[in-house]
């Protein structure tokens, strides 16, 4: 008799749904993936959520509420492998900008009665609360990398995802360097590859949506970016967007401020 198919669960916390949508955007592969895995829990796609345990959990979104703090512990308990997908789940997401402002002020800007809103002071990645088996980067994640993570899981191996910078992808693609040739500020040198160097291919600088690479020299890049005319507030803002709370980008913004 055939082995039962591994059971997949897709979970959502504070996020835009874009990373789980990436699974549905695998139009050519979706039905083959569904044939290899039992999609046991995926609220966005199915009205028949099945009970755990699950062999593979894909988790999207950051932890921002007291309930979600409890829920992620449950997800970990019912999951054999837990993979976070996207900037929110791996780094807190754009909503982590509250960490720099104070959530009370944020809530009072948006809501007349902030007291009705239960929310945490900070937006934190999944790994801050439970052990994570693998983190897939990107805002949003890349479709091909998601398929690599699922294939690797099915084959029982570690996913092969590069830790080098966007610059390597840019060279491989044969792009002219937007910074050297056009003086366009670019975070490519400090940002992890994975998107295929999309922004430079569209004549704009990388804005860091895959987060920091393995060993970024942000201080060195800051020197260059200043030379291209970026002001301190602009430097701070470029690091404080989608991966603001990651250590290298946090330090890069602080370095920019101290340099002032």
C-alpha to C-alpha distance for 56 and 156, rounded to whole angstroms: 11
Which x/- pattern over 43-72 shows residues binding another protein (rule: CB under 8 A)?
A: xxxxxxx--------------xx--x----
The answer to the question of residue 232 lying near another protein (CB under 8 A) is no
Nearer to another protein by Cβ, of 2 and 157: the residue is 2
CA atoms within 13 A on the CB side of 177: 13
Locate 153 and state its tokens: 């899981």
DSSP codes, 48-88: -PPPS-EEEEEEESBB-SHHHHHHHHHHHHTEEEEEEESHH
Beta strand pairing call for 7-12 and 54-60: parallel
Which 8-state DSSP code applies to residue 195? S
Instruction: Report, in Å, the least distance between residue 157 CB and another protein.
Output: 26
Give the nearest distance from C-beta 152 to another protein in angstroms: 22
Q: Which of residues 200-229 bind another protein (CB under 8 A)?
A: 201-204, 207, 209
- If one asks whether residue 19 binds another protein (CB under 8 A), the answer comes out as yes
Between the alpha carbon of residue 31 and those of residues 38, 42, 74, 120, 253, the distances in Å are 11, 15, 29, 38, 44
Q: Does the footprint of another protein cover residue 194 (CB under 8 A)? A: no
Identify which of residues 45 and 161 has a Cβ nearer to another protein in the complex: 45
Round to whole Å and give the CA distance between 50 and 38.
10
| Residue 185 engages another protein in binding (rule: CB under 8 A) | no
CA atoms lying within 13 Å on the CB side of residue 32 = 8
Helix/strand/coil for 208:
coil
Q: Segment 93-122, which members bind another protein (CB under 8 A)? A: 93-95, 97-98, 101, 103, 105-107, 109-113, 116-117, 119
Candidates 80, 237, 251, 255: give the one binding another protein (CB under 8 A): 237
When the beta carbons of 132 and 206 are compared against another protein, the nearer one is 206
State both tokens at 68.
Answer: 């979600």
Task: Return d(Cα 55, Cα 79) in angstroms, integer.
Answer: 6
The residue ranges that bind another protein (CB under 8 A) are 12-22, 24-25, 27-28, 30-31, 34, 39, 42-49, 64-65, 68, 93-95, 97-98, 101, 103, 105-107, 109-113, 116-117, 119, 123, 139-140, 195, 198-199, 201-204, 207, 209, 234, 237, 241-242
């Amino acid at each position: 008799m055939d082995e039962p198919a591994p059971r997949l669960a897709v979970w959502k916390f504070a996020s835009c749904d874009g990373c789980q949508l990436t699974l549905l955007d695998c139009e050519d592969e979706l039905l083959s993936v569904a044939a290899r895995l039992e999609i046991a829990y995926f609220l966005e796609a199915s009205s028949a959520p099945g009970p755990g345990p699950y062999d593979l959990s894909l988790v999207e979104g950051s932890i921002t509420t007291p309930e979600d703090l409890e829920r992620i512990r449950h997800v970990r308990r019912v999951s054999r492998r837990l993979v976070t997908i996207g900037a929110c789940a791996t780094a807190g997401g754009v909503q982590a900008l509250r960490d720099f402002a104070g959530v009370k002020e944020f809530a009072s800007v948006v809501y007349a009665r902030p007291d009705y809103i239960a929310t945490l002071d900070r937006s934190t990645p999944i790994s801050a609360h439970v052990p994570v088996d693998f983190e897939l980067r990107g805002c949003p994640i890349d479709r091909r990398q998601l398929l690599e993570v699922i294939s690797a899981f099915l084959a029982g191996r570690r996913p092969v995802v590069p830790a080098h910078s966007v610059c390597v992808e840019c060279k491989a693609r044969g792009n002219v360097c937007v910074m050297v040739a056009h003086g366009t500020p670019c975070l490519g040198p400090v940002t992890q590859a994975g998107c295929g160097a999309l922004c430079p291919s569209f004549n704009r600088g990388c804005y860091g949506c895959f987060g920091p690479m393995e060993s970024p020299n942000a201080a060195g890049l800051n020197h260059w970016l200043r030379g291209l005319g970026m002001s301190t507030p602009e430097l701070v803002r470029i690091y404080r967007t989608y991966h603001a709370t990651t250590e290298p980008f946090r330090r890069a913004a602080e370095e920019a401020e101290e340099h002032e």
